[in-house]
């Protein structure tokens, strides 16, 4: 077969079938590749099962459906949307970008999208692996996995059993999203060499909820040895990960909203009804001054035994190379444009602070106020949320890794978005187009509007190349970047990415010291 442009499409023979991809931007791309059986009907809320394969040659030029999620035509005022149709619960596919489907044994980057556990897709143009494949000579895999109620509901004894359970599964397992991701990593181990990748040189990277996934995989017994490096971008490690007893009331509320009695009846509902009910759970679980998270991972004792923030400190996971970072104003993403928070009074913010700091909330408010002259109450609130949900837990992981003598590289993204008169500042997600160096794929996002192209291009080059270096060597340093030392105590070297990028000492020191008084 020859395309209209006279090109021969790339073809790969896998153990489960043959794939025909496409040439895009100078790299070979294979889209909509199934890595697990469709999680529909009786497999809904069951652990992922490897795909049985297909006969003949499968067309791999079109993305598979994204996982079902809430969708608003026209998108949101920050990202302009984070998931687009088509949606379907038959969504367990992945995309591969490779310089060539040969035997070159290149490093592999596996990308896990974020989205607050309720939105996103690995096949979004934002997350195209084309730039990494072309500029870094690496193979990139981006996955779709179950999110929202289909991935994160937990049913306890009623549920689908443990991940090991291709038969007598243990009672009480959950985290179906995690079984999807483990199955995808096994697919990478078994197949990536046919795409020119090295299964022994895999880096898993994720942002936000995807970073939580990445850390959870590091501690999963069935994922041991499947990757050697992780990149954790803005992990919300400050989230409380509930126990089964803490999660089941949330499941009961969801069942009530759905109008069914148990998981059996829930399996009979079409997925649009499930997503509609998810909106009701949002309403029941939202709290003023907190990032909304109606669906969460669960420490079920089968697929997850400890908080993901702790996994990289124990066992074989302690030997994994780690890069971790955060944006300076993470919480501005969710709160800077919200009138209900923007008009908050000082007393209201102090009351919210008191929920984290029962003693001395007014003093904590004053401490935050001193770091930001002219701060409004909402600015203090956003700094508090950024610290307790993102920055401080990330620093604590870096501190703990450093104390163990394990490799960890830390960064802080400080570049300020000019959008909305600067109100978003260095918000959650802003580093993503710089990391992927693909601003042409982000033109729909208000977040990136008005950025000076010269500054944008220089910073994107520095970050993109640092990520490539880390994927290839486990060290983010490269000739176009200031020397980036490992995070160690007491130096606490952290790379500050901004219009002028530099390695600095302990940029999160104020937050780190302030939050040491909070019991964890």
* pLDDT for res 74: 80
Is beta strand 321-327 parallel, antiparallel or unpaired with respect to 229-233?
parallel
Residue 335 and residue 306 share a domain = no
* pLDDT for res 75: 85
Got the DSSP string for 222-290?
A: GGTTS-SEEEEES--TTS----HHHHHHHHHHHHHHHT-SSHHHHHTS-HHHHHHHHHHHHHHH--TTS
CATH number at residue 155: 3.40.50.1820
Which of 280, 311, 342 corresponds to the end of one domain? 311
Cα dist. 466→211, 231, 240, 409, 435 in Å? 18, 11, 31, 11, 9
Burial 342-377 (b: 16+ CB within 10 A, else e): bebeeebbbebbeebbeeebeebbebbbeeeeebeb
* pLDDT for res 170: 47
Domain presence at residue 111:
yes
* pLDDT for res 418: 98
Which of 311, 344, 359 corresponds to the end of one domain? 311
Per-residue pLDDT of the chain (520 residues; tens, 9 = 90+): 655 566 789 999 999 999 999 999 999 999 999 999 999 999 999 999 999 999 999 999 999 999 999 998 888 999 999 988 999 999 999 999 999 999 999 999 999 999 999 999 999 999 999 999 999 999 999 999 999 999 999 999 766 554 444 333 445 789 999 999 999 999 999 999 999 999 999 999 999 999 999 999 999 999 999 999 999 999 999 999 999 999 999 999 999 999 999 999 999 999 999 999 999 999 999 999 999 999 999 999 999 999 999 999 999 999 999 999 999 999 999 999 999 999 999 999 999 999 999 999 999 999 999 998 889 999 999 999 999 999 999 999 999 999 999 999 999 999 999 999 999 999 999 999 999 999 999 999 999 999 999 999 999 999 999 999 999 999 999 999 999 999 999 999 999 999 999 999 999 999 999 998 665 5
Residue 186 and residue 43 share a domain = yes
**What's the alpha-carbon Rg for the chain, to the nearest Å?**
22
Catalytic site includes residue 461: no
Please identify which of the residues 128, 208, 213, 258 carries the catalytic annotation: 208
Please identify which of the residues 51, 82, 428, 515 carries the catalytic annotation: 428
Catalytic site includes residue 428: yes
- The rounded distance, in Å, linking the Cα atoms of 189 and 382 is 41
Structural domain boundaries, residue 415: 331-517
Domain presence at residue 325:
no
Q: Which two tokens stand for residue 480?
A: 């176009």
Domain presence at residue 404:
yes
Residue 436 and residue 291 share a domain = no
Residue 180 and residue 31 share a domain = yes
Q: Count structural domains, the chain.
A: 2
Which of 247, 279, 311 corresponds to the end of one domain? 311
- For residue 327, give the nearest of 153, 507, 462 by alpha carbon: 507
Domain presence at residue 316:
no
Domain presence at residue 324:
no
Catalytic site includes residue 510: no
Domain presence at residue 317:
no
Cα dist. 437→22, 440, 457, 466, 487 in Å? 22, 9, 8, 11, 25
- Give ∠ CA 179-318-473 in degrees, rounded to 5: 90
Q: Give me the residues paired with residue 320 across strands.
A: none
Residue 425 and residue 476 share a domain = yes
- Give ∠ CA 287-376-283 in degrees, rounded to 5: 15
Give the predicted TM-score (pTM) of the model.
Answer: 0.96
Residue 340 and residue 305 share a domain = no
Q: How many other CB atoms sit within 10 Å of the CB of residue 270?
A: 10
Please identify which of the residues 130, 329, 330, 388 carries the catalytic annotation: 330
Residue 203 and residue 293 share a domain = yes
If you ran DSSP here, which 8-state letter would residue 426 be given? S
Residue 285 and residue 373 share a domain = no
Residue 274 and residue 335 share a domain = no
Residue 138 and residue 47 share a domain = yes
Q: How many other CB atoms sit within 10 Å of the CB of residue 461?
A: 16
Residue 358 and residue 224 share a domain = no
Residue 350 and residue 298 share a domain = no
Domain presence at residue 321:
no
Domain presence at residue 238:
yes
């Amino acid at each position: 077969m020859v395309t209209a442009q006279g090109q021969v499409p790339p073809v790969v023979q896998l153990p489960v079938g043959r794939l025909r991809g496409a040439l895009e931007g100078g790299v070979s791309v294979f889209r909509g590749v199934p890595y697990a059986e469709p999680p529909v009907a009786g497999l809904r809320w069951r652990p992922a099962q490897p795909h049985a394969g297909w006969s003949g040659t499968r067309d791999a030029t079109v993305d598979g459906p994204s996982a079902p999620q809430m969708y608003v035509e026209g998108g949101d005022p920050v990202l302009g949307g984070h998931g687009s149709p088509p949606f379907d619960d038959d969504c367990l596919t992945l995309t591969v970008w490779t310089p060539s489907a040969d035997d070159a044994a290149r490093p592999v980057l596996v990308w896990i999208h974020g989205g607050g556990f309720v939105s996103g897709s690995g096949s979004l143009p934002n997350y195209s692996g084309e730039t990494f494949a072309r500029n870094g000579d690496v193979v990139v895999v981006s996955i779709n996995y179950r999110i929202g109620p289909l991935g994160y509901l937990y049913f306890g004894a009623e549920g689908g059993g443990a991940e090991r359970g291709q038969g007598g599964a243990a009672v009480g397992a959950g985290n179906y999203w995690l079984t999807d991701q483990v199955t995808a990593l096994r697919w990478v181990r078994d197949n990536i060499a046919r795409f020119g990748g090295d299964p022994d040189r895999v880096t898993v990277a994720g942002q936000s909820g995807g970073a939580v996934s990445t850390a959870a995989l590091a501690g999963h017994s069935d994922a041991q040895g499947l990757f050697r490096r992780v990149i954790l971008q803005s992990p919300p490690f400050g989230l409380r990960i509930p126990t089964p007893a803490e999660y089941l009331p949330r499941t009961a509320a969801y069942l009530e909203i759905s109008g069914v009695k148990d998981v059996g009846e829930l399996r009979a509902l079409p997925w649009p009804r499930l997503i509609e009910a998810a909106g009701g759970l949002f309403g029941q679980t939202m709290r003023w001054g907190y990032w909304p998270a109606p669906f969460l991972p669960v420490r079920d004792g089968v697929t997850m035994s400890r908080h993901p923030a702790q996994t990289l400190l124990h066992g074989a996971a302690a030997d994994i190379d780690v890069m971790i970072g955060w944006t300076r104003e993470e919480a501005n993403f969710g709160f800077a444009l919200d009138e209900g928070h923007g008009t908050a009074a000082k007393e209201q913010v102090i009351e919210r602070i008191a929920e984290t700091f029962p003693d001395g909330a007014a003093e904590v408010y004053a401490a935050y106020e001193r770091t930001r002259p002219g701060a409004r109450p909402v600015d203090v609130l956003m700094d508090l949320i950024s610290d307790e949900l993102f920055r401080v837990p990330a620093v604590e992981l870096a501190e703990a890794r450093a104390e163990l003598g394990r490799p960890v590289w830390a960064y802080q993204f400080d570049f300020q978005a000019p959008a909305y008169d600067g109100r978003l500042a260095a918000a959650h997600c802003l580093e993503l187009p710089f990391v992927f160096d693909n601003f042409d794929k982000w033109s729909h996002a208000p977040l990136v509007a008005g950025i000076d192209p010269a500054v944008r291009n220089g910073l994107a080059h520095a970050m993109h190349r640092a990520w490539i270096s880390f994927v290839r060597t486990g060290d983010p340093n490269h000739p176009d970047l200031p020397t980036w030392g490992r995070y160690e105590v007491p130096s606490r070297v952290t790379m500050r990415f901004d219009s002028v990028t530099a390695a600095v000492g302990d940029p999160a020191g104020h937050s780190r010291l302030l939050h040491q008084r909070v019991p964890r």
